[in-house]
């Protein structure tokens, strides 16, 4: 069974309590519940975690090696500042999808640059909490395509005429 780690960065624990015009009214526990529900439908295992501390996120990413097949992360404000989180993702070499609730490219200039995007499989931004579900689907499809057994490369098939 595929195992995915979902990480939420600083201040995302405030979702649903402040700034609803920017980040909506859905709380983080509600987002986590919908992630868990969709994972069950997809037949995968997920663990969700939130931290306001950069080093804690770095440690969780480092420890993911050997325990998870991929990572979904909303690094929140650390997206725009954290070379440490970027380096941790590059070091564990697990396929990672970057998620943002808002479309960071339509917002203030300082949110346009992501230190994470360059080491991520892809970025999903602007779809609100649905972005996490899109990331689950994308990462599951990506990982399934990597693990589907294929024919050994140097074994020749019989010519069609000789196959029965
Ligand atoms: O759009 C996103 O998901 C962000 O990662 C959210 C971050 C922001 O710094 C990024 O540029 C884009 C901010 C998360 C703060 O969440 C709050 C939620 C409720 C109230 C206040 C902050």
pLDDT tens digits along 58-102: 999 999 999 999 999 999 999 999 999 999 999 999 999 999 999
What percent of the chain stands above pLDDT 90?
A: 84
Residue with CA nearest ligand 1 atom 2: 100
Regarding the beta carbon of 164 and ligand 1, being less than 6 Å apart is answered no
Quote the distance between the C-alpha of residue 147 and its chain's center: 18
Rounded Cα–Cα distance for residues 103 and 105 (Å): 5
Q: Determine the Cα–Cα distance for residues 164 and 158; give it in Å rounded to an integer.
A: 10
Regarding pTM above 0.75, the answer is: yes
Tell me if residue 113 is catalytic.
Answer: no
Q: Which domain holds residue 138?
A: 3-162
Report pLDDT for 152: 55
* Nearest atom (ligand 1) to Cα of 18: 20
Which pLDDT score, from 0 to 100, does residue 28 have?
98
151: Cβ below 6 Å to ligand 1? no
Q: What is the pLDDT of residue 120?
A: 98
E-assigned strand segments in 11-74: 45-50, 70-74
Q: How far apart are CA 104 and CA 113, in angstroms?
A: 9
8 lines ligand 1 (CB under 6 A): no
Instruction: Measure the CA–CA gap between 143 and 38, rounded to whole angstroms.
Output: 16
Crossing angle of helices 130-147/28-42, nearest 10°? Answer: 30
Q: Residue 20: its pLDDT value, please?
A: 86
Span 126-155, pLDDT tens digits: 999 999 999 999 999 999 998 766 555 555
110 versus 20: the higher-pLDDT residue is: 110
- Report the C-alpha gap between 84 and 159 in whole angstroms: 54
Range name among 19-33, 69-83, 106-120 with the lowest pLDDT average:
19-33
Does the active-site annotation cover 142? no
State the total domains in the chain. Answer: 1
- CATH of residue 155's domain is 3.40.50.9100
The CB of 13 under 6 Å from ligand 1? The reply is no
């Amino acid at each position: 069974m595929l195992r995915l780690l979902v990480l939420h960065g600083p201040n995302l624990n405030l979702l649903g309590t402040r700034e609803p015009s920017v980040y909506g009214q859905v709380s983080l526990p509600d987002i986590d519940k919908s992630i868990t529900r969709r994972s069950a439908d997809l037949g995968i295992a997920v663990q969700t975690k939130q931290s306001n501390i950069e080093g804690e996120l770095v440690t969780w990413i480092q420890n993911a090696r050997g325990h998870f097949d991929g990572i979904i992360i909303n690094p929140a404000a650390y997206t725009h500042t954290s070379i440490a989180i970027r380096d941790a993702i590059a070091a564990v070499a697990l396929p990672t999808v970057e998620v943002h609730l808002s479309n960071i490219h339509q917002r203030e200039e300082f949110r346009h640059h992501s230190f994470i995007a360059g080491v991520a499989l892809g970025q999903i931004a602007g779809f609100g909490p649905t972005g996490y579900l899109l990331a689950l689907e994308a990462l599951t499809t990506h990982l399934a395509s990597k693990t589907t057994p294929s024919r050994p490369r140097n074994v020749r098939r019989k010519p069609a005429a000789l196959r029965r």
